[in-house]
Amino acid sequence: MNLYEMSAAMLARKLRNKECSSQEITQSVLGRIQAVEGQVGAYITLTPEQALETAKQVDKRLAAGEKLAPLAGIPIGIKDNICTKDVVTTCASKMLHNFVPPYSAYVVRQVERAGMPILGKLNMDEFAMGSSCENSHYKKTKNPRDLTRVPGGSSGGSAAAVTAGEAILALGSDTGGSIRQPAAYCGTVGLKPTYGSVSRYGLVAFASSLDQIGPLGRTVEDVAMLYSLISGYDPKDATSVNRTYTDFVAGLNDFQVNGLKIGIPKEYFGDGVDQEIKEKVLAAIKLLEKNGAEVKEISLPSTDYALSAYYIIACAEASSNLARFDGVKYGYRSGKGEGLTEMYEYTRREGFGDEVKRRIMLGTFVLSSGYIDAYYKKAKATQAIIADEFRAAFEQVDLIMTPTAPDTAFRIGERSADPLKMYLSDICTVTVNIAGLPALSVPCGEIGRGLPVGLQMIAPHFGEDLLFKAAHYYEKISGLRLADVAAL
């Protein structure tokens, strides 16, 4: 088995036992990138020298007997909307083609402090707007399980890199499903953490009240390790929650499924969801039930309104968040036009892709005078109702389980012409962001010719611990070889 195929937990043990060095691990992953990146296209920017330098430092410190963080020496890829000091951060947009941040995001500093070699910046849908990674200005990332298909999005580069062995771990961001849906499409594990548990400082904002940075990895344990590193209170993010964040790895194996109450919301198993996916997900839940869990059908009646409310709130915030990209201070500036207003117009016309422009216009409309009450304020009211329904549901059950996505990875180009159909990919995931809840996608089998299906587990606020335990337990009993790197 190659080093790049191993889980972070395994590699961390090997490092401590001096069975290999961080430089060897990093070289192995860089070699894999060299071999398959041409086919997968997961990265926008690669930083191999920087990664090897970090690995070298870690090896030195380990040799000196220093006690390092659990993930020290394990290479990671970072989604390209997370700021990295001195390394270009494009958000997969032409608009930021030359933007080199003078500071690093909170999570990047955590990763650096832990001694994780950073391999590079991962492809995504432009400004995290999309469900297929096709909205990148730079390249289309392919699904490593089937190169004719999309890896999902917007964190498609993150999911693809982890799946292809081009990174051991990756950071993504999730505004409406952008970690979980690509994790499901690629057959890997992804967590959208509780809103406020991971600092957003340094994440280029799409929709501030919904965005959350989260980990992707090939096993639940790996994801729990990375979450333990990046979660925590950050006074630089006013929405960061000041509480005690524990280590989420230690108790993973102690979990007993007996008595675990699982809720199945019927609204997530409706007509919009592929029949085979429903069967796979229900089979996974059945397996948990057989092992001692209690399963209960529940109802989240306002789910039908979630997608509309989500797109209104997300676009409203995006229209404001993306207004700063105007050609004045950094990034792309058009040479066309005369005077300030035309400079703005041409810069934004040429610098943004179609999907981004569509959402800015939508957002501008729903906030404009005369329409804000009918759209934005209604959507905020809907948000409150949806959050309440979850709260009520969690009085009856410990976890809610649903499909992560209504379908499996679709073919590249298949939905590009139909934005509404593309928006439907988020139907099972957006409610979690609207309610600020944590949710994890774990593979629960394949359909057709090896297309992965994701099982979404949703917990109450700050219920990550239970998510990891239940998902880790499921991983063990499912007998699926989940941590496999895609064969390419």
Partner 1 sequence: MEYEMIVGLEVHAELSTHSKIYCGCKNAFGGEVNSQCCEICTGLPGTLPSLNEKVVEYAIKMGHALGCTINPVTKQDRKNYFYPDLPKAYQISQYDLPLCEQGHLDVLVEDEVKRIGITRIHIEEDAGKLLHDESFSGSLVDFNRCGVPLIEIVSEPDFRSSKEAKAYLEALKQILIYLDISDGKMQEGSIRCDVNVSVREKGSDIFGTRVEMKNVNTFSGAVRAIEYEAARQIEVLESGGTISQETRRWDDSKGVNVLLRSKEDAMDYRYFPEPDLGAIVVSEALIRQMKDALPELPNKKTMRYMREFELPSFDAGLLVENRDKARFFEACTAIGGCSPKNIANWILGDITRILRENKQELPESCITPEKLVDMVARIEKGEISNAAGKTIVEVLLAEDKDVAQIVEEKGLGQISDSSALEDLAREVLAANEKAVEQYRGGKTNVLGFLVGQCMKASKGKGNPALLREIMLKLIEE
In this structure, are strands 261-265 and 212-217 parallel, antiparallel, or unpaired?
Answer: unpaired
In the shown chain, the binding pattern of residues 268 to 297 toward partner 1, with x for contact by CB under 8 A and - for none, equals ------------------------------
Q: Site for partner 1 (CB under 8 A): which residue of 88, 372, 447, 488?
A: 372
Q: Decide: 119 and 82 in contact? Cβ < 8 Å.
A: no
| Coil, strand or helix at 136 | coil
Q: Which is nearer to partner 1, 317 or 426 (CB)?
A: 317
Query: Which CA distances in Å does 241 have to 37, 413, 466?
Result: 38, 40, 19
| 376 near partner 1, rule: CB under 8 A | yes
What's the one-letter identity of residue 423?
Y
Q: How far apart are CA 141 and CA 409, in angstroms?
A: 12
Rule CB under 8 A: which of 192-251 touch partner 1? 200-205, 207-209, 235-239
Q: How far apart are CA 123 and CA 164, in angstroms?
A: 14
Q: Which residue has the tokens 């990046």?
A: 230
Q: How far apart are CA 167 and CA 186, in angstroms?
A: 14
Q: Tell the burial category of 263 from Cβ atoms under 10 Å away from its Cβ (0-12, 13-18, 19+).
A: buried
In the shown chain, the binding pattern of residues 296 to 325 toward partner 1, with x for contact by CB under 8 A and - for none, equals --------------------xx-xx--xxx
| 334 near partner 1, rule: CB under 8 A | no
Q: Which is nearer to partner 1, 319 or 431 (CB)?
A: 319
Q: Which residue has the tokens 């009856």?
A: 396
DSSP state of 262: E
Q: Which is nearer to partner 1, 155 or 163 (CB)?
A: 155
Q: What angle do CA 337, 340, 346 make, to 5 degrees?
A: 40
Q: Which is nearer to partner 1, 17 or 369 (CB)?
A: 369
CB of 317 vs partner 1, minimal distance in Å: 6
Q: How far apart are CA 302 and CA 309, in angstroms?
A: 10
Q: Which is nearer to partner 1, 13 or 236 (CB)?
A: 236
CA proximity to 250, closest of 9, 6, 3, 443: 9
Query: Which CA distances in Å does 212 have to 125, 240, 373, 412, 463?
Result: 16, 11, 27, 26, 15
Q: Which is nearer to partner 1, 207 or 249 (CB)?
A: 207
| 427 near partner 1, rule: CB under 8 A | no
Q: Which is nearer to partner 1, 327 or 438 (CB)?
A: 327
Q: Site for partner 1 (CB under 8 A): which residue of 233, 255, 330, 346?
A: 330
| Catalytic residue from among 154, 155, 231, 319 | 154
Q: For residue 58, give both structure tokens.
A: 């870690």
Active site residue 154: yes
| 83 near partner 1, rule: CB under 8 A | yes
| 457 near partner 1, rule: CB under 8 A | no
Q: Which residue has the tokens 């191999």?
A: 48
| Catalytic residue from among 136, 178, 441, 478 | 178
Q: Which is nearer to partner 1, 45 or 299 (CB)?
A: 45
Active site residue 131: no
Q: Tell the burial category of 1 from Cβ atoms under 10 Å away from its Cβ (0-12, 13-18, 19+).
A: exposed
For 380-396, letters b (16+ CB in 10 Å) and e give eebbeebbebbeebbee
Q: Site for partner 1 (CB under 8 A): which residue of 18, 67, 329, 449?
A: 329
| 423 near partner 1, rule: CB under 8 A | no
Q: How far apart are CA 217 and CA 98, in angstroms?
A: 29
| 340 near partner 1, rule: CB under 8 A | yes
| 96 near partner 1, rule: CB under 8 A | yes
Active site residue 178: yes
Q: Give the total of residues touching partner 1 (CB under 8 A).
A: 44
| 91 near partner 1, rule: CB under 8 A | yes
Q: For residue 29, give both structure tokens.
A: 């992953």
| Catalytic residue from among 7, 22, 79, 142 | 79
Q: Site for partner 1 (CB under 8 A): which residue of 105, 360, 428, 483?
A: 105
Which of the residues are catalytic?
Answer: 79, 154, 178
**Interacting residue ranges for partner 1, rule: CB under 8 A:** 81-83, 89, 91, 96, 99, 101-103, 105, 200-205, 207-209, 235-239, 316-317, 319-320, 323-326, 328-330, 340, 344, 364, 367-369, 372, 376
